[in-house]
């Protein structure tokens, strides 16, 4: 390390580069004092005698661990190779890189072009053995320090998660209470739509059919409007990803889960790159605590849902295959005894629409003869003759259960429509109060608030129309007469 404040004149003829960096976007937003002190290095460079001082701030919010691209660092290396840099200034010399590969590469380049390093501790000349040793030790200590800090933080987070106290991000329908911890969101409308999704899947047994049913009824689902804070929502038409996200999330079964996904490291252009969000099987989750908080469904139902979703996967071997709306009774249920593939159904012949079961996959893919082909009318009739005597005693009971579920669904739809209307009326009232509190002379603000109020009123009218279209259920109305159904089940 050089003594005194004087630099060789040959160094001062080149430019000085001030490298400003903070590791995360949160540090950029909140740690403003650190950034201010780094920018003060420009004045220090001028006092040292440099006439030209450049500032590289492209690495703000980027870690120096070597796992992310750093355009500012790349520009610095390019300037070094071009011989344009006489000195590099940074808050701490080791902050230029926190991984051995980048640090020692940069140290080697500085020694070749005789560029000095200046930080708050002094001036370093990489051409001098002692300074080179000191800089190498600083880089190694910085890399080691980063690894120790990361390991300690992860160990502390896992220890807290094992107690179920780590406040991780939770899905819609839950919030962290300051005193009691994790609990249900107090918004009753939000709770109702989540329970409605689980109930509809329980009835239909298919995530897609549940979504189609809810979408046909005009059900809305909350979408966070404030990022991950989950304190305000915009209600939009329900999507398939909303349904499948609820069904696959163990939090709704009262389970506290930590470590469901993992990061993976791969080499890209000679550098390590991390990718996140790779799911792990349940047996590999880091933490799983049952009955940790209030649940929308129990754990047994959650496991049944996962098994059913896996079985419903159409392209997966062993998955259930459903008919596509044709008249064939056994569509999607038969497999070829020769090759093991599922039999397809074709409709042809006289009368029109007579089903034919056949295995034509080898013919289509390999040009080989079909494994088999046979008419389906006699097979369907034989199967029906065996099934009807078994299910006939349960026909009335099944019809009554279907009618009961239909009535419950109608009541639930009306309840959801009432909640939607209640929320839209509140939003309209709030928009009206905001408009009334605005200075009418400020037309820029008043016009915008007036538009929001009009949009809220239109939503109120739409909710009222949807509620009016919903029939009011009459719990005292008698059940339809299903006795004739059991008497002639085959015709039904």
Residue positions annotated with a catalytic role: 23
Residue among 132, 109, 92 nearest 2 (CA):
132
- CA–CA separation, 420 vs 424, rounded Å? 6
């Amino acid at each position: 390390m050089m003594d005194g404040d004087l630099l060789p004149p040959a160094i001062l003829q080149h430019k000085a580069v001030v490298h400003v960096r903070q590791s995360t976007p949160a540090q950029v937003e909140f740690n403003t004092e650190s950034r201010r002190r780094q920018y003060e290095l420009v004045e220090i460079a001028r006092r040292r005698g440099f006439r030209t001082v450049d500032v590289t701030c492209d690495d703000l919010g980027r870690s120096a661990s070597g796992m992310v691209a750093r355009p500012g660092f790349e520009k610095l290396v390019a300037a070094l190779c071009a011989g344009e840099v006489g000195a590099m200034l940074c808050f701490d010399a080791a902050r230029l890189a926190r991984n051995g590969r980048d640090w020692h590469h940069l140290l080697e380049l500085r020694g070749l072009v005789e560029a000095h390093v200046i930080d708050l501790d002094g001036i370093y000349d990489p051409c001098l053995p002692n300074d080179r040793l000191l800089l190498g030790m600083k880089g190694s200590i910085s890399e080691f320090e980063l690894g120790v800090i990361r390991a300690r933080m992860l160990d502390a987070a896992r220890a807290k998660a094992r107690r179920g106290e780590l406040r991780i991000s939770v899905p819609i329908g839950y919030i962290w209470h300051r005193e009691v911890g994790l609990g249900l969101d107090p918004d009753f409308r939000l709770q109702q739509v989540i329970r409605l999704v689980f109930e509809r899947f329980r009835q239909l047994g298919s995530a897609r059919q549940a979504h189609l049913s809810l979408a046909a009824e005009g059900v809305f689902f909350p979408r966070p409007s404030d990022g991950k804070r989950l304190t305000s929502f915009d209600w939009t038409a329900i999507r398939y990803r909303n349904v499948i996200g609820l069904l696959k999330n163990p939090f709704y079964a009262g389970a506290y889960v930590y470590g469901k996904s993992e990061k993976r490291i791969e080499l890209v252009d000679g550098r390590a790159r991390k990718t996140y969000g790779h799911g792990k099987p349940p047996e590999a989750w880091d933490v799983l605590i049952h009955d940790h908080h209030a649940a929308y469904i129990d754990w047994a139902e959650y496991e049944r849902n996962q098994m059913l979703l896996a079985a419903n996967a159409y392209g997966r071997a062993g998955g259930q295959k459903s008919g596509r709306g044709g008249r064939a009774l056994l569509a999607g249920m038969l497999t070829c005894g020769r090759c093991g593939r599922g039999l397809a159904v074709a409709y042809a012949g006289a009368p029109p629409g007579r089903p034919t079961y056949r295995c034509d996959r080898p013919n289509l893919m390999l040009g080989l003869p079909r494994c088999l082909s046979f008419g389906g009318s006699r097979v369907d009739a034989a199967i029906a003759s065996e099934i009807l005597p078994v299910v006939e005693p349960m026909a009335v009971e099944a019809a009554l259960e279907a009618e009961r579920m239909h009535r419950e669904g109608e009541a639930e739809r009306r309840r959801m429509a009432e909640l939607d209307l209640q929320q839209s009326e509140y939003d309209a009232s709030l928009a009206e109060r905001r408009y009334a509190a605005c200075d009418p002379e400020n037309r820029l603000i008043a016009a915008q608030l007036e538009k929001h109020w009009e949009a809220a009123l239109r939503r109120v009218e739409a909710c009222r129309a949807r509620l009016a279209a919903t029939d009011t259920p009459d719990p005292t109305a008698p059940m339809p007469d299903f006795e004739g159904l059991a008497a002639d089940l085959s015709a039904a």
